[in-house]
Structure 1
Amino acid sequence: MRASLLQIAVNPDESVAARRGRAADLVREQRGSDLVVLPELWPVGAFAYESFAAESEPLEGPTYAVMAEAAREARVWLHAGSIVERAPSGALYNTSLVFSPSGELVRSYRKIHRFGFDQGEAVLMAAGDDLVTVPHPQLPFGVATCYDLRFPELFRGLVDAGARAFVVPAGWPARRRAHWTLLAQARAVENQAYMLACGTAGSHAGVEQAGHSIVVDPWGEVLAEAGAGEEVLTVDLDPAKVELTRDQFPALKDRVLGTPPPTRA
């Protein structure tokens, strides 16, 4: 199984429409991949708080339309990163979109843990409350977004729901890059699942981004890691390695606290 993470930059001199077109072209170039991933809030920038309301869009808005077409033309499963969704109620959400190779919106996920400590995203956006897994035919995966990475109980819930991998788009600051790498590996190791974490390059509203998108296997080994700039990170995965790891080192079955061990699919 081949996965491609598109670590793009959010340039303030580039219009949102132009960036949508550029991202769609990059998706089309990944024809032959089995999964393509974009970062968090790439249309506007994860720290561009003052632009959230103006650049918000309905779930099936401009980004949805462009990404659905790109997924269909490339014939890829596409995690299209996240958008600022304006719900019918008027509330804003940090919402991820996942498309099938036919261009169908298979799942959407509203970010549960909002970053900001009573500022920024934490006050401007509402919180989601549903765990989301995607029935990818080769590697069913759970969806989380950026700050969610710091909350291991979310990932346990995704494992219980059948996830064999996690896909985490992010707009992670460079000053906390060490946490990004550490947490990505920790979530993979403790859940014996692949981790595909896709960040952004450049800066968001003056906040330097970490980049360093990373793919970790179920044993915690880093299979591929990007640099700080714009980059397409492509890696081949072996879906069978998840069950192999869980069979050879069956730590999940020894869980005592919290929810019961996951049922083998």
Structure 2
Amino acid sequence: MRVALGQLGGTADPEANLALVEKEVGRAAEVSARLLVLPEATMCRFGVPLAPVAEPLDGPWASRVRALAAGAGLTVVAGMFRPAPGGRVYNTVLVAAEDGRLAHYDKIHLYDAFGHRESDTVAPGDRPLTVEVAGVRIGVATCYDIRFPGLFTELAARGAQVTVVPASWGAGPGKREQWELLARARALDSTGFVVAVGQAAPPEAEPSPAPTGIGGSLAVSPLGEVLTRLGPAPTFTVVDLDLGEVTRARSAVPVLANRRW
């Protein structure tokens, strides 16, 4: 499976971000990718009020992503925000399939860590999600979820061979190293591929206490090998995943079969 990683640097303007999505979809189509993974908060970066930009799945933002995916003949994964009760929003990963179908995952583990409280403005989801892309079962997680191995083993138990992780990782001492270590650990936990795509680091002139991204997107093999690794700047790359590696890894190291709880 050919997977495209679109490490874009989103803005606070959903319309401007749609133009970035269109550009990344075009790039992915040119290289015949079947799946394009974009960051968390692709719709609107963190650090600004999210309720005013939140839209339902049948709203104009998601509908435009849906049309772009169908027009290009590939599946697009991108972070957006949906209205939630009590004035909060859902931190949603939109999965727009090449045939026009939509699926979505609402972030389960909210980023109440390192002095930040995502739960003040974001309502948690409660349902894991897997989808099928080109005959391959894909698991979906986002950002802070990567610190919770149980979600990844659950997705693998549901048949996921690849788990995508859109993110907007918070900056700070050691955070880049933690991001990579966690991605590699979750690949080992699930003996599956992990494709983790973050927001690019914002310009130095735009510091923010919000988790606005550090870049560092990467793809990891089922045995923890880093297949591709990006720097902090906006960029695009592709990786070809040999799904036979999942079968071989799960045969050699059957942690899913051997687990007791």
Q: Output the TM-score relative to the length of structure 1.
A: 0.89
SS in 2 for 1:243: helix
Matched, 1:223 2:233: no
**RMSD between superposed Cα atoms in Å:** 1.9
Assess, with a 3 A threshold, how the Cα gap between structure 1 residues 120 and 54 changes in structure 2: closer, same or farther.
farther
Residues 1:100 and 1:206: Cα distance change in structure 2 (over 3 Å) = same
Letter in 2 for 1:255: R
> In the alignment, is residue 71 of structure 1 matched against residue 69 of structure 2?
yes
> Which sits farther off after the overlay, 175-184 or 246-255?
246-255
Task: Check if 1:202 corresponds to 2:206.
Answer: no
> What secondary structure does 1:30 align onto?
helix
In the TM superposition, 1:94-113 aligns within 5 A as 94-105=91-102, 107-113=103-109
User: Structure 1 residues 249 and 120, CA, compared in 2 at 3 Å: closer, same or farther?
Assistant: closer
Scaled by the length of structure 2, what TM-score is found?
0.90
User: Runs of 4+ in structure 1 displaced over 3 angstroms?
Assistant: 87-91, 117-120
Tell me what 2:162 maps to: 165
Q: Distance in 2 between matches of 1:126 and 1:88?
A: 8
2:5 & 2:218 partners in 1: Cα distance? 9
Q: % of aligned pairs identical?
A: 36
Task: Spell out, residue by residue over 1:82-133, the C-alpha distance to the aligned partner (whole angstroms, 9 max, x if none).
Answer: 111014775410011112112221x210000111348542111111000111
- Structure 2 segments unaligned to the other structure (5+ residues): none
Shifted more, 236-245 versus 118-127: the winner is 118-127
Alpha-carbon offset, residue 197 of structure 1: 0.2
| Contact 2:152-2:189 at 8 Å conserved across structures | no
Q: 1:184 is aligned with what amino acid?
A: A
Secondary structure at the aligned position of 1:22 is classed as: helix
Distance 1:39 1:148 in 2: 14
Structure 2 Cα separation of the partners of residues 94 and 57 of structure 1? 11
**Counterpart of 1:141 in 2: which secondary structure?**
strand
Q: Distance in 2 between matches of 1:66 and 1:88?
A: 25
Using the TM superposition, give the Cα deviation of residue 210 of structure 1 relative to its aligned residue in structure 2, in angstroms. 1.6
**Where do residues 74-153 of structure 1 align in structure 2 (5 Å cutoff)?**
74-79=72-77, 81-87=78-84, 91-105=88-102, 107-117=103-113, 119-153=116-150
- Structure 1 stretches of 5 or more lacking a match? 259-265
- Alpha carbons 2:157, 2:256 under 8 Å: kept: no
Q: Is the partner of 1:51 in helix, strand or coil?
A: coil
Q: CA deviation at 1:249?
A: 2.6
- Hey, what's the Cα distance between the residues in 2 that align with 1:248 and 1:57? 45
Partner of 2:251: 247
Aligned to 1:22: 20
Task: Give CA-to-partner distance per residue, 1:132-166, whole Å, 9 cap, x none.
Answer: 11122342111111000001111111111111111
Aligned in 2, Cα 1:61/1:120: closer, same or farther, shift over 3 Å? farther
The reply on whether 1:156 has 2:153 as its aligned counterpart is yes
CA distance in 1, matches of 2:138, 2:127: 15
8 Å contact 2:129–2:139 — kept in the other structure?
yes
Aligned length: 251
